[in-house]
Chain A
Amino acid sequence: MPDPILKISGLNAHYGDFQALFGVDMQVDAGEVLAIIGANGAGKTTLMRSITGLLTNGPDQIMHKGTDIGRLRADEVALRGIAMVPEGRQLFPSLSVKENLMIGAQVLRPGPWNLKAVYQLFPILEERKDQQSTSLSGGQQQMVAIGRALMSNPELILFDEISLGLAPVIIRDIYRALPGIIGNGMSAIIVEQDISKALSVSSRVYCLQEGRVSLEDRSDTVAREDISRAYFGIE
């Protein structure tokens, strides 16, 4: 069996004295789509920051295809083919829409995604390509953030709350576009507060609660009461 794309074992994360993650175990296989759910402050974003190298981790806590990447810088992790659509979009305000997309291609990984492919996926971005990224609507900004991550032709893409702050129709559109994005053998981790959306696009689901994994199950068969228990920690 090949090494999994990502294998997380006993991951702890700290902000100063505050511990945000406690011994998290998780695995992503090639082509798999994982959902991560959890209440506010459960540690979902912290987990994403650990994976992408924005937080440094202990030895052998994060293995990418059998190699320890827990101590690599974020740019080195990006070069290995892990991209993130960060929470709150976080576009570069000084860059135009097109420049935001182009900066995603900075890692120079070959693959199907380029400006043309992103414009095909989100035609509105081509119309707006020379505008300041902050002048777009929230949904359009989210498209730029997704396109920017795709431009690096990642093997594993992390989505941190892509529906946050967006209108329901926009969320629906973006989730409709998702299979076309991650259908080509790309693996994905989808962090989401909207549980049914997260379950609908994933094969397995993890729930985080106060920095610990409180549930791990198949997305199609997981029981609702198990989720509420894992989510809120109430019996």
Chain B
Amino acid sequence: MDWLNAIVQGTLLGGLYALFAAGLSLIFGVMRLVNIAHGDLIVLAAYLGLTVTTATGIHPLLAIVVVVPVMAAIGYVLQRGLLNQTLGDDLLPPLLVTFGLSVIIQNALLEGYTADPQKLAAGNLETASFAFGGLTLGVLPVLTFSFAIAVIWGLQWIFYCTALGRAFRAVSDNQDIAQLMGLNRRHIFGLAMALALAVTAIAGILLGIRTSFDPSGGGGRLIFGFEAVIIGGLGNLWGTLAGGVILGVAQTVGAKIDPGWQILSGHIAFLLILAVRPNGLFPRISA
């Protein structure tokens, strides 16, 4: 039962990792951009949630309604104002620029909110749990996992059932020809980043309710997000969810063996899968 418990808890934790990863997966899929600042943007979203909840007194979950559009707007402006200029045949400029962005965000957060760890106060939700089939499940992890499924499902729907998704896929396939069809790739990329950061907003707030965060916490989230994307296979959103779950389960099972092994066993699982399946488990696009 202990092992089953570890696996179930790990699966639920995987939902959070999938939320970290979904935005990364999306922007890599659409514009082959690897965003080093992604983790810091998650932390930024958590801080925005903090500001909204302390200023208005509303519940952090409700703050999502405010933080999602704000992050989406930041995403669009960031893409059109800065990141579009770095895109081209060379992969290095976007890496360097988003690395710089990561440093800037961390320092700005440090300046604005100090280095003290913060948490989003969510009252009962933080500790509430229920019994299910002999296991005790936290309401928050279950909620987070539901959010992850809803987000991935929603992204999948946008990608495959809407004109915007068609534009995403067309631009991803061939930027020049998409441009010939009247699609301005700079605008499409802006919309993709807006969507990615909207997801980041949800991830940041759920993170902030779950654990405390500080300005330097972005790197760890970036790594988990990356690992989930790579395990699942590039360009496959459901694969990203599977990647998050595998990572989460590896961590909780590792922690079960020895509490010190939690993070390490996640990385080991990642490396093992990479060694066996270099393109991830369910790749859609070749790297």
B170 at the interface (CB under 8 A from A): yes
A102 at the interface (CB under 8 A from B): yes
Interface centre among A52, A92, A99, A102 (most CB of B within 10 A): A92
Q: Mark A65-84, 1 if CB is under 8 A from B, else 0.
A: 00000000111001100011
Q: How distant is the Cα of A226 from the Cα of B80 in the complex, in angstroms?
A: 52
A177 at the interface (CB under 8 A from B): no
Q: How distant is the Cα of A99 from the Cα of B169 in the complex, in angstroms?
A: 10
Contact (Cβ within 8 A) B180 A54: yes
Contact (Cβ within 8 A) A92 B174: yes
A107-B172 in contact given A95-B166, A99-B166, A102-B166 (Cβ < 8 Å): no
A64 at the interface (CB under 8 A from B): no
Of A83, A95, A106, which is within 8 A of B173 by CB? A95
CB-CB contacts below 8 Å: B165-179 with A: 166-167, 169-170, 172-174, 176-179
Of B167, B169, B174, B183, which is within 8 A of A90 by CB? B174
A104 at the interface (CB under 8 A from B): yes
Tally of chain B residues near chain A (CB < 8 A): 17
Q: What residues on B are CB-neighbors of A93 within 8 Å?
A: 173
In the complex, residue of chain A having the shortest beta-carbon distance to the beta carbon of B185: A75
Q: What residues on A are CB-neighbors of B182 within 8 Å?
A: 75, 78-79, 106-107, 152
B146 at the interface (CB under 8 A from A): no
A148 at the interface (CB under 8 A from B): yes
Contact (Cβ within 8 A) A84 B173: no
Q: What residues on A are CB-neighbors of B169 within 8 Å?
A: 92, 94-95, 99
Contact (Cβ within 8 A) B173 A92: yes
Contact (Cβ within 8 A) A92 B184: no
A52-B177 in contact given A92-B170, A103-B167 (Cβ < 8 Å): no
In the complex, residue of chain A having the shortest beta-carbon distance to the beta carbon of B186: A73
B131 at the interface (CB under 8 A from A): no
CB-CB contacts below 8 Å: A123-171 with B: 148, 152
Contact (Cβ within 8 A) B181 A148: yes
In the complex, residue of chain B having the shortest beta-carbon distance to the beta carbon of A54: B176
Interface size class, chain A: 20 to 34
In the complex, residue of chain B having the shortest beta-carbon distance to the beta carbon of A152: B182
A95-B170 in contact given A54-B176, A74-B176 (Cβ < 8 Å): yes
Q: How distant is the Cα of A22 from the Cα of B108 in the complex, in angstroms?
A: 52
Interface centre among B176, B177, B183 (most CB of A within 10 A): B177
A103-B180 in contact given A90-B174, A93-B173, A95-B173 (Cβ < 8 Å): no
Contact (Cβ within 8 A) A103 B170: yes
A86 at the interface (CB under 8 A from B): yes
Contact (Cβ within 8 A) B166 A86: no
In the complex, residue of chain A having the shortest beta-carbon distance to the beta carbon of B159: A94
Of B163, B174, B180, B183, which is within 8 A of A84 by CB? B180
Cβ of B44 to closest chain A Cβ, rounded Å:
31
Of A73, A99, A152, which is within 8 A of B179 by CB? A73
A54-B179 in contact given A73-B184, A92-B173, A95-B173 (Cβ < 8 Å): yes
Q: Mark B176-207, 1 if CB is under 8 A from A, else 0.
A: 11111111100000000000000000000000
Contact (Cβ within 8 A) A104 B181: yes
Cβ of A56 to closest chain B Cβ, rounded Å:
12
Contact (Cβ within 8 A) A78 B180: yes
Q: How distant is the Cα of A52 from the Cα of B166 in the complex, in angstroms?
A: 22
Contact (Cβ within 8 A) B177 A86: yes
Q: How distant is the Cα of A102 from the Cα of B180 in the complex, in angstroms?
A: 13
Q: How distant is the Cα of A90 from the Cα of B181 in the complex, in angstroms?
A: 12
Q: How distant is the Cα of A54 from the Cα of B180 in the complex, in angstroms?
A: 8
Further 10 A-B residue pairs, CB within 8 A, beyond A54-B180, A78-B180, A103-B183: A75-B181, A75-B184, A78-B182, A90-B177, A95-B166, A95-B170, A99-B169, A102-B166, A106-B183, A148-B181
Could you write out 14 A-B pairs with CB less than 8 Å apart? A54-B180, A75-B180, A75-B182, A78-B182, A79-B182, A94-B169, A94-B170, A99-B169, A103-B167, A103-B170, A103-B183, A106-B167, A106-B181, A148-B181
Q: Which 8 A-B pairs have the closest CB atoms?
A: A107-B182, A74-B179, A78-B182, A94-B169, A92-B173, A75-B184, A106-B182, A92-B170
